[in-house]
Chain A
Amino acid sequence: MPHLSTYVGLADHSERTLADSFRAVAQGHAREADVFHTCQLLAGWSDAHRERLATVVDRYGEDEVVEPERLHADGLAEVREGAVGLLRDLQDLHVLASLVQTTWTVVAQAAQGVRDRELLEIAQDAGVETSRQITWLDTRMKAAAPQALIVGPPS
């Protein structure tokens, strides 16, 4: 199962990137109280997915395979400033979360194929929570966009 292990590794890695990026956005936009608290909460969800995955990851020994090039997406090392910056950061989180979500989708398919019920359940549960992360990002971007794009702060 060489490529399933690659994708289990990708799930783990991309969840970590997403969690770190959520935390970076929380800290960087701490004056937006809801962004601060919600991003921390959602980072915790990604952490929890990784913890659950860790219980089965041994079965798929990650290190033997040669990974395809440019497998991993970069996280948000630094956040942007201001209202438009927040909007862009939320968009970046959205991209990272989408990668996580589609990764869980394909891991779930493969888990079915190899009849690993445990992995299947983990992938499905995590996928559901990833969609909830994405839904929040959608909602928050929609709320932020008009003011950021049309008015913005006086320069």
Chain B
Amino acid sequence: MLDRIADIWGERTPHARGTVWPARVDLHLTDGVAEQDVDRWVQSACLLCSNGCGCDIAVKDGRMVGIRGRATDVVNHGRLGPKGLYGSTPWASSPDRLTRPLVREGGRLVETDWETAMGRVVERSKQLLAENGPLTHGFYTSGQLFIEEYYTLAVIGKAGLGTPHMDGNTRLCTATSAAAFKESFGADGQPGSYTDIEHCDAVFLYGHNMAETQTVLWARILDRTHGADPPRIVCVDPRRTPVAEEAERTGGVHLAPRVGTNLALMNGLTRELFEHGWVDEDWVAAHTLGRDELRAVVDPYTPEEVERICGTPASDVRRAAAIFGESPNVLSTVLQGFYQSHQATAASVAVHNLHLLRGMIGRPGAGVLQMNGQPTAQNNRECGADGDFPGFRNWGNPQHVEELASAWNVDPLTIPHWAPPTNAMQIFNYAEKASIELLWISATNPAVSMPESSRIRSILSKPEVFVVVQDLFLTETAELADVVLPAAGWGEKTGTFTNVNRTVHLSEQAVEPPGEARSDLDILLMYADAMDFRDLDGNPLISWRTPEQAFDAWRAVTAGRPVDYTGLSYEKLRGPSGIPWPVDEEHPDGTDRLYTDFVFPTDTDYCETYGHDLVTGGAVTEQEHRALRPAGRAFLKGAPYLPAHEEPSEDYPLLYTTGRTAYQFHTRTKTGRSRPLHDAAPDAWVELSVPDAASLGISEGDWVRVESPRGAIEVRARVGQVMEGAVFAPFHYGSWDLDGVAPDEQDRLANELTMTVWDPVSKQPTFKTAACRVTKVRDGDGPAPAPTTTASAPARVGSVPDTRGGPPSGSHVLADTPTYPLDPSQES
């Protein structure tokens, strides 16, 4: 039995290059329940990060009591991480679950029945439609709903109401991943596969602290770096993360660019490929466009110039570039360090450029994984509930709009395609001006997670804006709503979702939701029924009633698109493993990696976008795109580095950057209700470097005030591993806490300080670059509440007690590794 708080990644199962990743089954049951006492195991996948580990939910006496990894699943080969093990089920039986709808009466939220609550929503909705039309309606969803729910919402919004104002909190976490794919390859879609890990010679992690964000995927990498013929790791991160340590241990490089300078570094690496002849010119000529322009853009970025801008030694830049240029197979992964910085899309596209220049794509070991933050973010992008069009269709292509109109049997003019779908930041902007008057928020907590949170709270509190919140708990956001609808969560409803790796899982209902809580799908169907949306023949617009019917409707609209689900069914998904799309007649068992034929979805009539100017976000027109005749070639696109929107100044001399910790997810609505996860990182903190702490007179555990031009927090300081000149704050902590928060301890919300500014192409807000100042408030009486097991470890090893205390959790390595469909290590 292991303490998986102390041991985040679990036992090593090292193996050699090119061999299959062994299976190890991890298990945790709560409250002393033994494996033989479990009544039923119900198939699902973990919903606490984007990795999508296949699992079974343990049910006893009608309650979810634990979780076990599925040995046969291609994603995790049986493993689970601390969040999955300890955090998957406790929230469900938490006494503060919402069990009845609430409506605002005389300034207070009071309990009511469904008819009354939905009645108010529908009344307001109809009134606004009559007065000012559909553009008064905005929907803000999540990265944690199911396909069936996103797709239903997309149809309601696009064909029922006809509003372009629909986005998800995916805008905060994965919008750049989608945008970067579209710019380079013409459409969204993860090119690589987790199986690339078994075949690569080097792994580059760009702004991706995988050791904390996707712990099971990191275990997969550790099993290679501890086996024979290991890959070298190259880490781009301003903090000394476990990934950075592994980079040093494997003979790779840790590049720590100054916060806000990623693109300068990427341009430097790109230039090195050209300078040293590491470019596969024949391949580039045959399969890409834009080589010469890219060469010109990166030309000024010599290693010395990169050192000047980023502070990373020129020799390290050269060494990293050589590893990229000379390794036969490189796997690259990218996450928030790039996505949530300014010039996000350009920097992420630069990762694609490196791979394209070497022709390193579409074969085992040579892949790109643009990661997602949340478990179902991918589906929001696919289904079109987030500002994309269903099936990766192009809103600017009339033929694509026509396809949807005919699938839904509505007038194409109903479908809002006259302008780009509205991004989340703009939706809140319209609500701020009360030009959106009905804002419906599902399964997300913008009062904590969006930048400049005091502004967001004031928008949600506006009397002119009718706010509907659909959630499991009375979150900081729900407290400001006019109507609160109690939702069923994971394990309490059935649906499908897709991980970073394109792998689709079915998550079956294991238990009944509490009280009167309903699935998000049922809530949306209730609204659609009450609004009486009809198609051109007068039939109900939404013809489905069950999740499986919704899934079938979704499958049908994916036919012929890159994200083809037509070959999938609930029946097929009940098999041993999740299945990666596209799944169609040609690929009945799914597809491990894309672009094996080097044909990219860039054809003008097929692509999801005509592309953008990476610097301004100006849109390329259809005619301009057609004139380039991309015809399946990928785009090489570059942009010069620009300084961040807010640079340190005399008043605010330090850089402020935010991020997450291994033990918490999102705003902790689930993980914060698990005692072991809560206690591993019980309160907010900030991390300071040793020299900065010394010059400010701050010691470990002291209370400090961190201020930006927009707001301030007061939290305890960890003297830790961040680079000099930078301050790191975890973004999970709002005013809710398992143990309650004293009013004087409420000032811990990291987003009080962040800026309202976003990337010009992906519209992802810039959480990682702001300026701040730090002052000591008072002495602490112990270490900061930050874990020691992660990048948040103290600078002086052993100076504070180790983070531990996870209840016993089972783990055993299987003697015989199962056979995994499509795994290149097992192909004979």
Which residue numbers of A lie inside 8 Å of B, CB to CB? 31-34, 37-38, 41-42, 83, 132-133, 135-136, 138-139, 142-143, 145-147, 150-154
Q: Given A32, A138, A145, A152, which contacts B618 in the complex, CB threshold below 8 Å?
A: A138
Does B618 lie within 8 Å of A135, measured CB to CB? yes
Q: How far is the CB of B638 from chain A (nearest CB, A)?
A: 14
Q: Which residues of the partner chain A approach B150 to less than 8 Å between Cβ atoms?
A: none
Which residue numbers of B lie inside 8 Å of A, CB to CB? 132-133, 135-136, 164, 416, 418-420, 422, 425-426, 429-430, 433-437, 464, 613, 615-620, 642, 645, 755-758, 760
Q: How far is the CB of A39 from chain B (nearest CB, A)?
A: 10
Give bound CA distance, A32 to B613, whole Å: 20
Does A37 lie within 8 Å of B618, measured CB to CB? no
Give bound CA distance, A131 to B695, whole Å: 49
For the A-B complex, the count of residue pairs with Cβ-Cβ distances under 8 Å equals 77
Q: Which residues of the partner chain A approach B426 to less than 8 Å between Cβ atoms?
A: 143
Q: A33-B757, A151-B132 in contact; A135/B419 too (CB < 8 A)?
A: no
Q: Which residues of the partner chain A approach B613 to less than 8 Å between Cβ atoms?
A: 132, 135-136
Does B435 lie within 8 Å of A38, measured CB to CB? no
Q: Which residues of the partner chain A approach B429 to less than 8 Å between Cβ atoms?
A: 31-32
Does A37 lie within 8 Å of B133, measured CB to CB? no
Does B618 lie within 8 Å of A151, measured CB to CB? no
Does B616 lie within 8 Å of A147, measured CB to CB? no
Q: Which residues of the partner chain B approach A151 to less than 8 Å between Cβ atoms?
A: 132-133, 135-136, 435-436
Give bound CA distance, A71 to B330, whole Å: 58
Does A34 lie within 8 Å of B164, measured CB to CB? no
Q: Which residues of the partner chain A approach B164 to less than 8 Å between Cβ atoms?
A: 146
Does B435 lie within 8 Å of A147, measured CB to CB? yes
Can you list 11 A-B pairs, Cβ within 8 angstroms, ordered by A?
A: A32-B429, A33-B755, A38-B760, A41-B642, A135-B613, A146-B418, A147-B135, A151-B132, A151-B436, A154-B434, A154-B464
Closest 8 interchain pairs by CB? A135-B618, A136-B618, A136-B616, A139-B619, A151-B135, A33-B756, A153-B433, A139-B618
Does A143 lie within 8 Å of B618, measured CB to CB? no
Does A38 lie within 8 Å of B135, measured CB to CB? no
Considering residues B133, B416, B619, B642, which has the most beta carbons from chain A within 10 angstroms of its beta carbon? B619
Q: Which residues of the partner chain B approach A135 to less than 8 Å between Cβ atoms?
A: 613, 616, 618-620
Does A146 lie within 8 Å of B619, measured CB to CB? no
Q: How far is the CB of B769 from chain A (nearest CB, A)?
A: 12
Q: Given B136, B420, B758, which contacts A142 in the complex, CB threshold below 8 Å?
A: B420
Q: A33-B756, A83-B433, A147-B430 in contact; A38/B617 too (CB < 8 A)?
A: yes
Does A132 lie within 8 Å of B618, measured CB to CB? yes
Give bound CA distance, A147 to B422, whole Å: 10
Q: A38-B617, A151-B133 in contact; A33/B433 too (CB < 8 A)?
A: no
Closest A residue, CB atoms, query B165: A147
Q: How far is the CB of A145 from chain B (nearest CB, A)?
A: 7
Q: How far is the CB of A61 from chain B (nearest CB, A)?
A: 33
User: Given A136-B613, A139-B616, list of 15 further CB < 8 A pairs?
Assistant: A32-B429, A37-B757, A38-B617, A83-B433, A132-B616, A132-B618, A135-B618, A135-B619, A136-B618, A138-B618, A138-B619, A143-B422, A143-B426, A147-B435, A151-B133
